[in-house]
Structure 1
Amino acid sequence: MKDNIIKLNYQDKEIVLVGTAHVLKESAELVKKVVSEEEPDSICIELDEGRLHNIKNPKAWENTDIIQVIKAKRVGFLLANLVLSSYQKRIAQELNTTVGQEVLQGIECAEEINAELVLADRSIQTTFLRIWRKLSFWEKGKLMFGLLLSGDQENEVSDDDLKKLMEEDILEAAMADMRKQFPKIGEILISERDQYLANKIKNAPGKKIVAILGAAHLIGVKEEIFKTQDMEKITEIPRKSRVSSVIGWTIPVCIIGLITYGFITNIQTGLNQISAWILWNGIFAALFTAISLGQPLSVLTAFVAAPFTSLNPFLACGWFAGITEATIRKPTVQDVINIPTDIFSVKGFYKNRFLRTMLIVIMANIGSSIGTMFAGVDIVKNLF
C-alpha cells in the first residue's frame, strides 16, 4: 500500500496523493489511516457534484424517467454511462463491498476533522460528451459493443485481479482494451482528467492537502502538479461535427430534389418515388423495432414516423418509437434496479423494460438509416 502514497511539496503546500481502487475495502482503510496521520486542511476526492449526489443517494437514479432521457437526446450517453457503472458494481459485488467506499471514507474524515472537502474531478457529463463528440458513428458502435462484451464475463475475481485494481482505476480498467483501438478515449478519460485533478488539488485551500485518487491517475497527477493546465480547453464541450450537419441536411435536400424532378418528368415517376421513400424507411424502421420486441403500436409508430424524420435532421424515428413503448409498457423501479445485471445479457436487455426502450430507440434509428439508403437508390433508379 505504501507504493500508492506519494508526497509532494508544491510552493508552500504539502500534497499527499493516495492511490485507491474504488471497489476495495482496503482502500477505505488506507484513506482513514493517511488522513489520521496527516491531519490535512483539505481533502480532495475524485468526484464531481453529480457523482457525489449519486453516491450519497444511491437510490435516486431508480426514479429516472426514460421518456425525459429520450426527449433530451441522451439515450446513447446514458447507455454508455450505465455500462461502465454496471461493470463497476459487478466487480464490487464479487468483492462483497460497495462502490466508492474510499470516497465515502474521505467525506467522513473531512467532517470529523473539519477539513475542507474539495470535489476535484471534472464533470462526468463533460468527460463523456468530449469522448462521444470526438468519436465517429462507427467508432461509437464499436465502443458500445466492446464495453458490453468486456462486462459479460462470469469469471471470479482472482488475487491477481485484486492486485491490478490497486494499479488501475476500475472505470479505466473497463476501457483499457478500448483505449488501444481509440487513442482519443485514453487522452480524454485519463490524461485530461489528470490535468484537471492536478489543478484542483494544488489550488485547494490550506497548507496540507490529501488527495484520494484512482490508482491509474497517481503518476499522471504527480507530474501535472508542477505544470500549467489549460482548464478552459479541457472543459470545453466540442461542437458537433460540421460534416455530420452538412450530411444531415444534404440527404433530405437531395431526396426532395430528386422527387420533385421525378414529378416534373412524369407524375407516375414522382408517385413511385414517394412510395419507395415511405416503404423503405417505414419497413426497415418497423422491422428493427419489432426485432427489439417493441409493442405493435411502437412498431406502427416507427413505420409512420420514419419517412418524415428521415427528412428532418432535428428529429429521429427512434424517439417516437421509444416514447410510445415507454408510455405503453412503462419501466418499473425494479427494472432500473436490475440494470447492472440485465445490461450484460441479451435476455436481460429484452426482459428489462428500461433497457428494451433504449434498445428500441437505437434500433429504430438504425433501421430508418438503412431504409434511407435503400430508398435513395430506388428513387434514383425510378428516374431511368
Structure 2
Amino acid sequence: MSDTADREGSVTVVGTAHISSASVEEVEETIERERPDVVAVELDEGRYRQLQGETPEDLDASDLLRGNTVFQFLAYWMLSYVQTKMGERFDVTPGADMMAAIETAEGFDLDVALVDRDIQTTIQRFWARMTLSEKLRMIGGLAFGVGDSRAAGLVLGIAIGIIAGPIIALFGGSFGVTDALLVRVTGAAVLGIAAGYLLDRLGRGRLTPDGRLFAAIGGGGLLGIGLLLTGIVDTYVEAYLGGFVVNAVGSLALGITAGILVGSVVALFLGLFEDDRPAEGGLDDLSMEELTDTDVVTMMMEEFRQFSPGGAEALIDERDAFIAHKLVALRDAGYHVVAVVGAGHRDGIERYLREPETLPPMEDITGTERGRGIPWFKVIGVVFSIGFIAFFVLLAMAGVRDGFLLRLFAAWFLINAVFAFSLAKLAGARWSSAGVGGAVAWLTSINPMLAPGWFAGYAELRHLRVNVGDISRLNDILSDETRPASDIVSDMFDVPLFRLIMIVAMTNVGSMIATFLFATYVLPMFFAELGGVEAVGREMIRGAQNSADLIWRTIT
C-alpha cells in the first residue's frame, strides 16, 4: 500500500445490488473518479477466491458433519441458489459488482481489501441466534409454503407425534387403544393422506401456497374424519393390511393427530404475538430499479427479521459492524478507501463511520455463537439414553434371564443395522461406509445427540472430495427446469457434496425407521414372553426395588 504517513484517511461507500448491471457501472465510475489507495469489497477470503476462478476450497469434514452444520450449509445453499436465480432473471452474474470492483482496482494498480466476515461464521451465528419457534417456522415454510405460526405448530405437532406413536403402540392398550380402533384409524389415515396429497397436486398453479395447504389439510382431514366415524373401509383394511402395518400406521396416526392438536394450541399462542400485516413487496415484485436500493440477500433477511430478529442481527447488523471495523482501521491508517458493499449494508456502515465509538467490540461479533435458550434436543437425548439404559438394567436387576435380554439386544442391533445400511447404500454409499453406519446405528439410536449418518459420512469422505464449488454445480443443475425431475436428481447425486449429504441423511432416516419398527412390532413380541406390557412394568418396578435394596445394603 502507498505511504500514508501524516495523512487523514477517508471512506467512500458505494451501495450496490449484487445482481444489477447498473451497480457494475456505478462501481467502475466511482473507482475511476476517486482513484483511492484501497478498494474494499464485501467479500471474505473464500468467496474472493471463488470469484477469481481459483480451485474451490475443500470443505472441512469435521465442520460439515458436526451438529447443526448441515442445517447451516442448507441455509447457505438456499441463499446462493436464490441469488443465482435472480441473476438469471436479470441476465447478470451474481457478484458482478464485486468482480467489477476488483478488476477496476487491478486495472489502476490499486490495492484490494477483503472486509467481510467469513461466511461460515455468519451462517453459524445466524442459525444459533434463531429460537426454536423461528426454526420451526422456517422449516415449515420450506416444507409447506407458509412461514407463520401455523407452520411452527404443524412441524412441532409432527415431531411430537413421531415420538408419541411408538409410546401408543407399546402402552396404548393400557388406556383404551383397541385393535379395532387402530384398524379404523389406519384406514382413515391412509386414505386421508392420499386425498390430501392429490388435492395438493391439483392445486399447483391454481391456488396460493396457503390455499393448497388448506385444501390438502381440509379435504384430506374431512375424508379421514368421515372414514373414522363410519368405518366403511375397516373390512378392507383388515383384509389387505397385516397386523404389523395396522399397529404401526394406526399408532403413528394417533400420535401425530394428538401432536398436531398440541401444535395447534401452540400456533394459536404464537399467533397472539405475531404481526399479521402483509410484508410490502417481495422477491416476485422486484424491478431493476428496486434492485439499486438493496441487494437481494439482505432483502430476504429483512423479511426474516420480522420473525427472527436475532437471525437478522447476525446476518446483517453484525456484518455492518464487522465491515465498519475494517474500514475505520483503514481510514485511521490514513488511506483513502472506496468500499463496495451491498446497498442494504450502506446505512449501517456509514452510521458507524460517523460514530465509530458506537462500534461493538470485535470479539462480540466474531467466533462461534452458542445457541440461546434451553437445548431441548440435548435434554431429550439425555433423557432417552438414560431411559434405554435403565430399561435393561432394571430388567436385569429383576432377575429376568440373561438369554431374554441378549436376544432383545440382538434384535435391536440387527434391525438398526439392516435399515441404516440399506438406506445408506440406496443413497450411493460405498459398502464400507454403509457398513460403518449400520454397525453403529444401535448405539446412536439410544442417543439422539449422535447420528449413524455422521459415522457413515466420515467413512465416505475417505474416498470423496467435497468443496464449495459443488454448490455452483448444484445451482446449475437445478436451474434447468426443462429436464425431467429424474434426470435432475440423478445428476445431483453425481455431485460429491450432495451425495455426502444424502448418505448422512438416509443413514439417519434408516435408523429412525428401525427404532419406530422395533418399538411398535419387535418389543411387543418380546414382552409377550414375560406376560405383556403390564408384566414388564411390574418387572421393572421389582428391578427398581431390588436396586434400591442393593444400594441400601452397600451403604449400611
Q: TM-score range by the shorter chain?
A: 0.7 to 0.9
Change (3 A) 1:219 1:349: farther
Q: How much has 1:17 moved relative to structure 2? A: 1.2
The one-letter code sitting in structure 1 at the alignment partner of 2:125 is R
Residue 305 of structure 1 is matched in structure 2 by 440
Residue 86 (structure 1) aligned with residue 226 (structure 2)? no
* Sequence identity (%): 29
Measure, in 2, the Cα distance between the counterparts of 1:209 and 1:240. Answer: 36
Measure, in 2, the Cα distance between the counterparts of 1:246 and 1:158. Answer: 41
Residue 369 of structure 2 is matched in structure 1 by 238
Q: Which runs of 5+ in 2 are unaligned?
A: 1-6, 146-204, 206-282, 528-532, 538-556
Measure, in 2, the Cα distance between the counterparts of 1:34 and 1:370. Answer: 59
Q: How much has 1:211 moved relative to structure 2? A: 0.9
Q: How much has 1:91 moved relative to structure 2? A: 1.9
Structure-to-structure mapping, 1:353-368, within 5 angstroms = 353=493, 354=496, 355-368=498-511
TM-score under structure 1 length normalisation: 0.76
Residue 120 of structure 1 is matched in structure 2 by 115
Change (3 A) 1:192 1:252: same
Q: How much has 1:317 moved relative to structure 2? A: 1.2
Residue 223 (structure 1) aligned with residue 223 (structure 2)? no
Residue 383 of structure 1 is matched in structure 2 by 536
Measure, in 2, the Cα distance between the counterparts of 1:199 and 1:81. Answer: 24
Give the match's secondary structure for 2:30. Answer: helix
Measure, in 2, the Cα distance between the counterparts of 1:115 and 1:330. Answer: 36
Give the match's secondary structure for 2:321. Answer: helix
Residue 21 of structure 2 is matched in structure 1 by 25
Give the match's secondary structure for 1:229. Answer: coil
Measure, in 1, the Cα distance between the counterparts of 2:424 and 2:410. Answer: 21
Residue 163 (structure 1) aligned with residue 289 (structure 2)? yes
Q: How much has 1:213 moved relative to structure 2? A: 0.8
Measure, in 2, the Cα distance between the counterparts of 1:125 and 1:303. Answer: 31
Q: Is the 8 A contact 2:416 2:510 kept in 1?
A: yes
Measure, in 1, the Cα distance between the counterparts of 2:83 and 2:297. Answer: 7
Measure, in 2, the Cα distance between the counterparts of 1:337 and 1:79. Answer: 13
The one-letter code sitting in structure 2 at the alignment partner of 1:187 is E
Which deviates more from structure 2 when the two are superposed, residues 161-170 or residues 344-353? Answer: 344-353
Per-residue CA deviation, residues 84-114 of structure 1 (Å, 9 max, x unaligned), is 2222222222322222121122112322334
Measure, in 1, the Cα distance between the counterparts of 2:361 and 2:506. Answer: 39
Change (3 A) 1:376 1:247: farther
Give the match's secondary structure for 1:23. Answer: coil
Tell me which structure has the larger Cα radius of gyration.
2
Q: Which runs of 5+ in 1 are unaligned?
A: 1-10
Give the match's secondary structure for 1:121. Answer: coil
TM-score under structure 2 length normalisation: 0.55
Change (3 A) 1:197 1:324: closer
Residue 254 (structure 1) aligned with residue 380 (structure 2)? no
Measure, in 1, the Cα distance between the counterparts of 2:130 and 2:285. Answer: 35
Q: Is the 8 A contact 1:262 1:273 kept in 2?
A: no
Change (3 A) 1:336 1:84: closer
Q: How much has 1:262 moved relative to structure 2? A: 1.8
Which deviates more from structure 2 when the two are superposed, residues 47-56 or residues 136-145? Answer: 136-145
Structure-to-structure mapping, 1:266-285, within 5 angstroms = 266-267=400-401, 270-271=405-406, 273-274=408-409, 277-278=412-413, 281-282=416-417, 285=420
Per-residue CA deviation, residues 141-190 of structure 1 (Å, 9 max, x unaligned), is 6536646889xxx9xx9884323322222222344443333222211101
Measure, in 1, the Cα distance between the counterparts of 2:107 and 2:371. Answer: 45
The one-letter code sitting in structure 1 at the alignment partner of 2:511 is S
Q: How much has 1:23 moved relative to structure 2? A: 1.3
Measure, in 2, the Cα distance between the counterparts of 1:357 and 1:137. Answer: 27
Change (3 A) 1:145 1:326: farther
Residue 130 (structure 1) aligned with residue 125 (structure 2)? yes
Measure, in 1, the Cα distance between the counterparts of 2:513 and 2:132. Answer: 14
Structure-to-structure mapping, 1:47-196, within 5 angstroms = 47-57=43-53, 60-61=55-56, 74-135=69-130, 140=135, 143=138, 146=141, 160-196=286-322
Give the number of aligned pairs. Answer: 366
